[in-house]
């Protein structure tokens, strides 16, 4: 390492050195998630390169990590030293190298977040020749996102599901969907055992009502508590997000979620190039890889920019209401204060920020 | 013996106190529920730097104040193709109806709103003042504010719409709020919606559950 402030090994082939600052990117902690409050304080010192190397590990994991790193290293060295390989190949190797040894997004400084985003944009450009825009916009002060769902308005059209799949670049092969719309029989209440979430007939069907579930962005999220590598956490504005590059794919969070809110990429997600939504966010709809978790982020790439999530915009019935819980004049606050609202499995203490109500 | 009893009592009290304190700590944060948190943290709400204006874009809106709510709705009159009505309806309606050579206007509109006993054209339109709508008691209502007409009967929906529980907010969650008006979703001549097919069907899900 030529520069001590650097948080990853840099081979320094041809690209100029990037300066990295020491400050930590994670903000103040508050809210329901108690799990990450204390732990972050302790691990603040360990960042980037240290996270990877300065840990106790068994012989087996050590060998695994070494092999993986060596493979990438060997690839990088061979292409960088090769006379035949072009500049682009070298650049690609450099990017792969730096991406391999980057730290957890949650612990990155703002500059480091921007750097990894620009690496990912460049890498996509090198691979496909297309330019995407990727944001690393952090949470805004005085914003806490919340959602309300009117079960007397939902007609089961599933326009929200379609909009969500397109917006969030979800895998077309496995037909992954973050949102489920449950068709339930009148008079049976919320009986998920008898509900149908994959109906195909004219809707609304006689004697049925519809309700949607997705990630509820709990204020006390059990999925965050169980993650062994802290690849998922609760942001200041209440969004529960995943660092896809830090996720190891153990699916503990999937098991811990009482709402079936999380999805797993069993295969490499495929989206036709012309259908890729190029307006992306690092924690949101950027392209995922095989073996990582993903889920609804309330369209972080849209909501942090001030727009409504794609499902809210697509719903033709107005059953979906989204807004800032801290703004006393917001429509979501009016709903919470004036309608009879309830949440799913409230007794678990997960504090979902997703309320249901009726007309 | 009495001394021993006292010590036991004090110990018991301390134990109880310890249990109470430790059980409070279990919640790990200062708020008991999310509602407490929202209430406490919104006390010092000073607004955000995010505005809805860029997302609403070129949509022409008007600001309305109903009750304690002030928000934007789409401007309507410029969106009606044949407004102003008096450009065709040069004479009062009863005179036009009597002419034998007159053209049939608005023949395509079929009224399907409540029933004929309750609603006909002049429940909302004014034969003598066709550029405006009229309320049940005969006062004039501007086409831009047609929600005032709907709210005469649909008062519950009106309350919900004002607060934001009925209808759709346009483009952005951030202030200033812009909401679609009644007629932007409902056809006032035929306000109910037909059944239709869902937008998608997940064939993979069927396979997985076989």
Q: What is the Cα B143 distance to its own chain's centre?
A: 18
Percent of residues, chain B, with pLDDT higher than 70: 88
CB–CB of B167 and A30 under 8 A? no
CB pairs < 8 Å spanning A and B: 158
Q: Do A321 and B174 touch (CB under 8 A)?
A: no
Enumerate residues 79 to 108 of chain A having a beta carbon within 8 A of any beta carbon in chain B: none
Find the helix packing angle between A331-338 and B155-163, rounded to 10°.
Answer: 130
Q: How far apart are CA A273 and CA A285, in angstroms?
A: 14
Q: Which residue in chain A has the smallest CA separation from B54?
A: A306
Q: What is the pLDDT of residues B38-60, one digit of tens each?
A: 999 999 999 999 999 999 999 99
Interface test with B, best of A205, A308, A333, A357 (most B CBs within 10 A): A308
A334-344 burial, b if ≥16 CB within 10 A, otherwise e? bbbeebeeebb
Cβ A352 vs Cβ A343: under 8 Å? yes
Q: Residue A83 has what pLDDT?
A: 62
Q: Which two tokens stand for residue A164?
A: 């969500």
Q: Once rounded to an integer, what is the mean pLDDT over residues A252-269?
A: 97
Best residue in B47, B173, B193, B197 for a mutation probing chain A (most A CBs within 10 Å): B173
Angle between helices A87-100 and A110-128 (to 10 degrees): 140
Say yes or no: B174 contacts chain A, CB-CB below 8 A.
yes
Q: What are the residue boundaries of the structural domains of chain A, listed by start? A: 35-131, 136-359
Chain B CB contacts of A359 below 8 Å: 156, 160, 165-166
Q: What percent of chain B has pLDDT over 90?
A: 62
Q: Give the gap in angstroms from C-alpha A147 to the nearest C-alpha of chain B.
A: 11
CATH topology of domain A136-359: Alpha-Beta Plaits (3.30.70)
Q: Which residues between 89 and 118 in chain B have a beta carbon less than 8 angstroms from any beta carbon of chain A?
A: none
Which value, in Å, is the radius of gyration of the alpha carbons in chain A? 22
What separation in angstroms does the CA of A344 have from each of A220, A324, A335?
Answer: 14, 20, 17
Average of per-residue pLDDT across A342-352: 96
Convert the pLDDT of each residue in B131-150 to its tens digit.
999 999 999 999 999 999 99
pLDDT at B27: 47
Mean pLDDT, residues A253-262 taken together: 97
Angle at B204 between CA A177 and CA A162, to 5 degrees: 35
Q: For A320, which residue in chain B has the nearest alpha carbon?
A: B168
The conformation of residue A306, written as its DSSP 8-state character, comes to: T
Kindly state the tokens that stand for B199.
């937008």
Token pair recorded at residue A264: 């797993």
Which ipTM was obtained for this model? 0.83
Instruction: Identify the CA nearest to A322 among candidates A343, A338, A336.
Output: A336
Q: What residue of B is the nearest CA neighbor of A313? A: B171
What mean pLDDT do residues A141-153 have?
A: 96
Inspect the interface and report whether the beta carbons of B42 and A328 lie closer than 8 Å.
Answer: yes
Dist CA A308 CA A163 (whole Å)? 12
Structure confidence by residue, pLDDT tens digits, A191-223: 999 999 999 999 999 999 999 999 999 999 999
Q: How confident is the model at residue A151 (pLDDT cuts 50, 70, 90)?
A: very high
According to DSSP, residue B30 is labeled: S
Residues from chain A that touch B50, judged by Cβ atoms under 8 A, are 140, 143, 305-306
Element (H, E) at B17: helix B2-25
Which tens digits make up the pLDDT trace of A12-24?
Answer: 555 544 444 444 4
C-alpha span between A198 and A343 (Å, rounded)? 23
> What does pLDDT average to over chain A?
87
Q: How far is CA B64 from CA A131, A205, B54, B61, in A?
A: 42, 37, 20, 10
Tell me the angle at which helices B34-41 and A331-338 cross, rounded to the nearest 10 degrees: 130
Give the pLDDT score at A77. Answer: 65
**To the nearest whole angstrom, how far is the Cα of B178 from the nearest Cα of chain A?**
11
Q: What is the dihedral of CA B71, B73, B75, B81, to 10 degrees?
A: -170
- Selected residue of A306, A342, A345 to mutate for chain B interface (largest B Cβ count, 10 A): A306
Do the Cβ atoms of A151 and A209 come closer than 8 Å? yes
Higher pLDDT, A47 or A185: A185
**What is the per-residue pLDDT for A3?**
47
Please name the residue of chain A whose CA is at the shortest distance from the CA of residue B32: A32
Q: What is the pLDDT of residues A40-73, one digit of tens each?
A: 444 455 665 566 566 677 777 777 777 777 777 6
Q: What confidence score (pLDDT) does residue A40 get? A: 47
Helix (H, G, I), strand (E, B) or coil at A281: strand
Which two tokens mark A30? 């508050």
The alpha carbon dihedral of A252, A258, A261, A264 has a sign of positive
**Residue A32: pLDDT above 50?**
no
Q: Residue B14 has what pLDDT? A: 74
Tokens of B16: 């109880």
Q: What pLDDT, in 10s, does the model give residues A70-121?
A: 777 676 666 666 666 688 899 999 999 999 999 999 999 999 999 999 999 9
Cα dist from B102 to A25, B86, B89, B131, whole Å: 75, 16, 11, 20
- The per-residue pLDDT for B95 is 75
Mutate to test the interface with B, among A266, A327, A328 (most CBs of B within 10 A): A327
pLDDT-derived band at B7, boundaries 50, 70, 90: confident
């Amino acid at each position: 390492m030529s520069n001590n402030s650097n948080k990853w090994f840099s081979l320094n082939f041809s690209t100029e050195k990037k300066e990295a600052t020491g400050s930590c990117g994670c903000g103040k902690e508050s809210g329901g998630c108690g799990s990450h409050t204390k732990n972050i304080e302790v691990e603040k010192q360990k960042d980037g390169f240290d996270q990877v190397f300065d840990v106790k590990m068994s012989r087996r994991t050590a060998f695994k990590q070494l092999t993986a790193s060596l493979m990438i290293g060997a690839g990088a060295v061979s292409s960088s030293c090769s006379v035949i390989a072009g500049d682009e190949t070298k650049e690609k190797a450099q990017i792969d190298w730096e991406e391999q040894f980057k730290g957890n997004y949650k612990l990155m400084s703002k500059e480091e977040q921007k750097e990894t985003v620009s690496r990912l944009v460049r890498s996509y450009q090198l691979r496909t020749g297309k330019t995407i825009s990727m944001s690393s916009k952090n949470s805004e002060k005085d914003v806490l996102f919340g959602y309300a769902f009117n079960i007397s308005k939902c007609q089961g059209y599933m326009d929200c599901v379609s909009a969500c799949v397109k917006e969030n670049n979800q895998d077309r092969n496995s037909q992954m969907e973050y949102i489920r719309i449950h068709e339930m029989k009148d008079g049976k209440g919320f009986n998920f055992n008898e509900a149908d979430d994959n109906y195909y007939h004219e809707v609304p069907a006689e004697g049925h009502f519809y309700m949607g579930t997705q990630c509820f962005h709990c204020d006390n999220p059990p999925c965050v508590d169980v993650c062994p590598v802290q690849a998922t956490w609760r942001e200041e504005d209440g969004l529960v997000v995943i660092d896809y590059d830090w996720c190891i794919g153990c699916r503990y969070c999937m098991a811990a979620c009482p709402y079936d809110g999380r999805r797993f990429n069993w295969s490499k997600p495929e989206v036709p190039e012309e259908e890729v939504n190029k307006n992306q966010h690092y924690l949101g709809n950027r392209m995922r890889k095989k073996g990582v978790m993903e889920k609804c982020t309330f369209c972080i790439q849209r909501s942090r920019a001030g727009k409504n999530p794609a499902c809210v915009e697509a719903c033709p019935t107005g059953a979906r209401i989204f807004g800032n819980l801290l703004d006393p004049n917001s429509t979501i606050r009016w709903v919470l204060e004036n309608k009879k609202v309830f949440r799913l499995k409230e007794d678990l203490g997960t504090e979902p920020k997703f309320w249901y109500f009726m007309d | 013996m009495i001394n021993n009893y006292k010590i036991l009592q004090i110990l018991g009290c301390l134990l109880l106190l310890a249990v109470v304190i430790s059980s409070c700590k279990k919640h790990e944060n200062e708020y008991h529920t999310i509602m407490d948190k929202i209430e406490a943290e919104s006390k010092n709400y000073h607004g955000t730097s995010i505005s809805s204006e860029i997302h609403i874009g070129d949509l022409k809106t008007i600001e309305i104040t109903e009750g304690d709510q002030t928000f934007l709705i789409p401007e309507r009159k410029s969106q009606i193709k044949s407004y102003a009505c008096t450009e065709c309806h040069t004479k009062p309606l009863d005179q036009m109806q009597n002419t034998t050579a007159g053209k049939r206007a608005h023949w395509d509109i079929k009224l399907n709103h409540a029933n004929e006993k309750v609603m006909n054209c002049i429940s909302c339109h004014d034969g003598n003042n066709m550029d405006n709508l009229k309320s049940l008691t005969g006062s004039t209502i501007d086409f831009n504010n047609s929600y005032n007409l709907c709210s005469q009967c649909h008062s519950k929906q009106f309350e919900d719409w004002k607060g934001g529980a009925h209808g759709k907010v346009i483009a952005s969650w951030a202030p200033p709020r812009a909401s679609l008006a009644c007629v932007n979703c409902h056809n006032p001549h035929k306000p109910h919606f037909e059944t239709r097919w869902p937008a998608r069907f997940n064939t993979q899900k069927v396979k997985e559950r076989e």
